[in-house]
């Protein structure tokens, strides 16, 4: 059976958001939140523009999805994010009781897995979807940034 709305489909939407961040000079991370194959939040990292360390893509996506749903628990939702969540974002996802997290690239240094942040027991995790594309965008960003300084 053909299933058009799979994890790769939605991760591509998150990658589009990461590219918008890249164009703005932000660390290129994008996120979307999906309920029953419907995208209810599209966000990208805005820490530079907003001068705010809490403005990671995932944090904004959680706030935006809760606003859309009119309730703060995301237990029927899936988050797609182009980089493994950090401690802060994983901690927020814990509170949200989100059903599923799909991330693309791993973050061996500051990712929640390395740092042992606890997710909600009901949250499933899938990783590695479009990881190479997401990593390549981040790599390009940091190389260009280094060359500017």
Residue 44, marked binder: no
* Largest interatomic CA distance in the chain: 51
Catalytic option among 36, 58, 133, 136: 58
Considering only residues 93-132, where is the footprint of a second copy by CB under 8 A?
Answer: 94-96, 115-118
Provide CB contacts within 8 A for 133, sequence distance 6+: 15, 104
CB of 97 to a second copy, least distance (A): 8
Provide CB contacts within 8 A for 147, sequence distance 6+: none
Contact 112/119 with Cβ under 8 angstroms?
Answer: yes
When binding is defined by CB under 8 A, the residue of 2, 3, 4, 51 that contacts a second copy is 51
Give me the residues that bind a second copy (CB under 8 A), please. Answer: 47, 51-54, 59, 62-63, 66-67, 70-73, 86-92, 94-96, 115-118
């Amino acid at each position: 059976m053909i299933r058009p709305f799979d994890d790769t489909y939605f991760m591509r939407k998150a990658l589009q958001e990461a590219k918008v961040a890249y164009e703005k000079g932000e660390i290129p991370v994008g996120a979307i939140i999906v309920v029953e194959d419907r995208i209810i939040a599209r966000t990208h990292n805005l820490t530079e523009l907003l001068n705010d360390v809490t403005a990671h893509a995932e944090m904004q996506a959680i706030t935006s999805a809760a606003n859309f749903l009119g309730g703060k628990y995301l237990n029927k939702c899936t988050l797609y994010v182009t980089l493994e969540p950090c401690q802060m974002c994983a901690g927020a996802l814990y509170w949200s009781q989100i059903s599923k997290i799909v991330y693309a690239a791993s973050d061996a240094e500051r990712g929640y897995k390395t740092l042992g942040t606890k997710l909600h027991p009901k949250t499933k995790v899938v990783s590695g979807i479009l990881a190479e594309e997401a990593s390549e965008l981040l790599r390009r960003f940091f190389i260009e940034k280094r060359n500017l300084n």
